[in-house]
């Protein structure tokens, strides 16, 4: 739903019940100080995986020598973006689907591309979402893409053990957003704001992602 100014929140709410990647530490919020317990103020304490909810990955996520989240160029996370619907396909998302979606939008490769895969989060953590084909990830960089986003929990398929798309994007310097809330978002042109928190040394960080439609 669009808020004042036309901005649409496309980040997933994070709470204790938020589904996280199997094996990751669950996200938790507790009051370290509480007015109800006689303290002067409420002060929260949080713990859990850096990949809970909508988040940005850093190259450090898949490479010990890669940049951590605070080192990334913020310009990649703010600016015009195109939403492409690839929900009707099957298997890894390859360049032909992206080219067809961009052609429908009357666009060449944008600097920021958001993929609406139709990933269903209604029953908890989704394990059957579509990932990005590694060759498509390399092609993105060749075409000048600065950021790729997906409504899936990963740019790789759930069953991937090598995370080839993650690695190809990291090597190419393409920023990644994962677990976007794109259900109901029409394909087309938008303004994107999705700045990651400045967590020094971290492999990922949460974002408050928002879109505003450009044109009709």
Residues 128-150 pLDDT 10s: 899 999 889 889 888 999 999 99
Specify the pLDDT at position 21: 96
Dihedral of CA 97/160/172/21: which sign? positive
pTM summary value = 0.94
**Judging by beta carbons within 10 Å of its beta carbon (0-12, 13-18, 19+), is residue 10 exposed, middle or buried?**
buried
Instruction: Tell me what the mean pLDDT of segment 50-76 comes to.
Output: 98
- Active site amino acids: 61
Instruction: Tell me what the mean pLDDT of segment 74-80 comes to.
Output: 98
Tokens representing residue 25 in the block:
């530490």
Please give the span between the terminal C-alpha atoms of the chain, in angstroms, as a whole number: 17
Instruction: Tell me what the mean pLDDT of segment 36-46 comes to.
Output: 98
């Amino acid at each position: 739903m669009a808020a004042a100014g036309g901005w649409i929140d496309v980040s997933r709410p994070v709470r204790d019940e938020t589904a996280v990647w199997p094996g990751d530490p669950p996200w938790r919020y507790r009051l370290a100080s509480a007015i109800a317990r006689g303290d002067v103020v409420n002060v929260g304490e949080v713990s859990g995986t850096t990949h809970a909810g909508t988040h940005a990955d850093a190259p450090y996520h898949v490479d010990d020598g890669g940049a951590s989240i605070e080192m990334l160029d913020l310009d990649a996370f703010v600016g015009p973006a195109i939403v492409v619907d690839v929900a009707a396909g099957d298997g890894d998302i390859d360049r032909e689907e992206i080219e067809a979606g961009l052609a429908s939008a009357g666009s060449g490769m944008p600097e920021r591309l958001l993929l609406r895969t139709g990933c269903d989060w209604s029953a908890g953590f989704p394990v059957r979402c579509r990932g990005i084909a590694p060759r498509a990830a390399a092609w993105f960089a060749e075409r000048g893409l600065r950021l790729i986003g997906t409504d899936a929990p990963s740019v790789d398929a759930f069953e991937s053990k090598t995370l080839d798309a993650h690695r190809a994007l990291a090597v190419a310097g393409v920023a990644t957003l994962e677990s976007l809330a794109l259900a109901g978002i029409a394909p087309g042109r938008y303004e994107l704001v999705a700045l990651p928190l400045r967590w020094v040394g971290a492999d990922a960080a949460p974002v408050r992602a928002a879109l505003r439609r450009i044109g009709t």
